[in-house]
Amino acid sequence: MIDIDQIVKRYGTVDVLKGVSMEFRLGTLTALIGANGSGKSTLLSAVGRLVPHEDGVVNVAGEPLTRWDTRSLAQRLAVLRQSPGVDLRLTVEELVEFGRFPHNKGVLTDDDRAAVERAIRYLDLGAIRHASIHTLSGGQKQRAFIAMVIAQDTDYILLDEPLNNLDMRHAGRIMAVLTTLAHRDGRAVVVVLHDINMAAAYADYIVALRDGTVVHAGDIDSTMQESVMERVFGVAFPVVQVGHRPFCIYHMAPQDDPAAQEDPVDRNPVVEACC
């Protein structure tokens, strides 16, 4: 279990996380949602020890983050930041093999190869496994990085916006794989998601952040309420029932359009003739 207690993260004088507490249990998939700048990515990076936090405690498997040796932690916890880039000319397969680095320090064993094969299959990368990363589209690159994280084979998997750049088919497939990893293999999967309908369709729990504090945490039904959504995102939109799942129709939220309230800009000013 990952247990977060009153964590504070400050950039300069701005508190990005103002004493956030929550827990991520093994066997569950938790979605972090919130508007831009709500602190969800920072929270994920702090829990994954990619950025230090100023105050509070993060316990991973009962041990505070600061006491973990970084390599031992990498064998238990995998973290992927949003849209990672890489400047190397490596192939998809070689990138996925890096996921085994915490276990083997770079020398592949048969077990490592099996884990790499599994990750490549889960992420549907077989056809492009020998393609160079820098020739891929944004979505293909994203899937290659997720495969690397899955090859790392950890109890805790933290992903920041894993569905960025992905088409519908691959987005759904990745969420299904993550659900299986959580429910069948008993891992704790935490994903920052932009699309709340994806969260509602696949997650067990949703944690909603706003301005660096948790405004709501609970299961799907308690979260997918119009009142909760308005508190989280600051706009009101209808939540309907599609099949057995709640569904947000955020495209139909009443918008205040500042452009429409202004006087039109004269784009063809008449140049007064001089002389």
Partner 1 sequence: MVHAKARSNTRVILIYSAVAVLLLIMVTLYIGRGVTTTNAAYYLSRRLPKVTAMILAAGGTGIAALVFQTVTGNRLLTPSVMGIDALFVLLQTVVVALSGAEAVILTNPHLGFVVSVVLMVVFASTLLRVLFTRQQDGGGMTRVLLAGVVMGILFRSVSGFVQMVIDPNEFTVVQDNIFASVNNVSAPVIPLAAPIMAAAALIIIMHHRVLDAIALGRDQAVALGVNYSRKVGLLITAATVLVASATAMVGPLPFMGLVASNIVRHSMTSWRHRTMVFAVTITGVAILMGVELVRDFTGSVIPLGTAIKFMGGITFLALLLRGEQ
Q: Which helix (H) or strand (E) holds 142?
A: helix 138-151
Cβ proximity to partner 1: between 116 and 198 the closer is 116
Which of these segments, 12-20, 48-56, 212-220, 241-249, binds partner 1 (CB under 8 A)?
48-56
Q: How far is the CB of 70 from partner 1 (least distance, A)?
A: 5
Which of these segments, 65-73, 227-235, 247-255, 263-271, binds partner 1 (CB under 8 A)?
65-73
Q: How far is the CB of 55 from partner 1 (least distance, A)?
A: 18
Could you say whether residue 99 binds partner 1 (CB under 8 A)? yes
Using CB under 8 A as the binding rule, the residues of this chain from 208 to 267 that contact partner 1 are none
Which residues have CB under 8 Å from 16's CB, separation 6+? 9, 10, 39, 42, 212
Among 6, 83, 106, 113, binds partner 1 (CB under 8 A): 106
Could you say whether residue 7 binds partner 1 (CB under 8 A)? no
Could you say whether residue 88 binds partner 1 (CB under 8 A)? yes
List b or e across 227-247, with b for residues whose CB sees 16 or more CB atoms inside 10 angstroms: ebbeebbeeebebeeeeeebb
Q: Which helix (H) or strand (E) holds 262?
A: none
Q: How far is the CB of 135 from partner 1 (least distance, A)?
A: 10
Using CA atoms, how far residue 123 sits from 38, 166, 229, 239, 240, in Å, is: 29, 12, 32, 31, 31
Number of chain positions touching partner 1 (CB under 8 A) = 36
Using CA atoms, how far residue 137 sits from 99, 128, 161, 164, 167, in Å, is: 21, 11, 17, 12, 11
Q: How far is the CB of 133 from partner 1 (least distance, A)?
A: 10
Could you say whether residue 84 binds partner 1 (CB under 8 A)? yes
Angle at 268 between CA 266 and CA 269, to 5 degrees: 75
Q: How far is the CB of 61 from partner 1 (least distance, A)?
A: 15
What binding mask, one character per residue, do residues 173-212 give for partner 1 by CB under 8 A, x or -?
A: ----------------------------------------
Q: How far is the CB of 85 from partner 1 (least distance, A)?
A: 7
Residue 8, Cβ density class (10 Å: 0-12 exposed, 13-18 middle, ≥19 buried): middle
How many residues would you count in the chain?
275
Please give the Cα distance from 258 to 93 (Å, whole number): 48
Please give the Cα distance from 26 to 186 (Å, whole number): 6
Could you say whether residue 105 binds partner 1 (CB under 8 A)? yes
Asked if residue 76 lies in contact with residue 113, where contact means CB atoms within 8 angstroms, the answer is: no
Could you say whether residue 2 binds partner 1 (CB under 8 A)? no
Please give the Cα distance from 123 to 103 (Å, whole number): 21
Could you say whether residue 136 binds partner 1 (CB under 8 A)? no
Q: Under the rule (CB under 8 A), what is the footprint of partner 1?
A: 45, 48-52, 69-75, 78-81, 84-91, 98-99, 101-102, 105-107, 130-132, 152
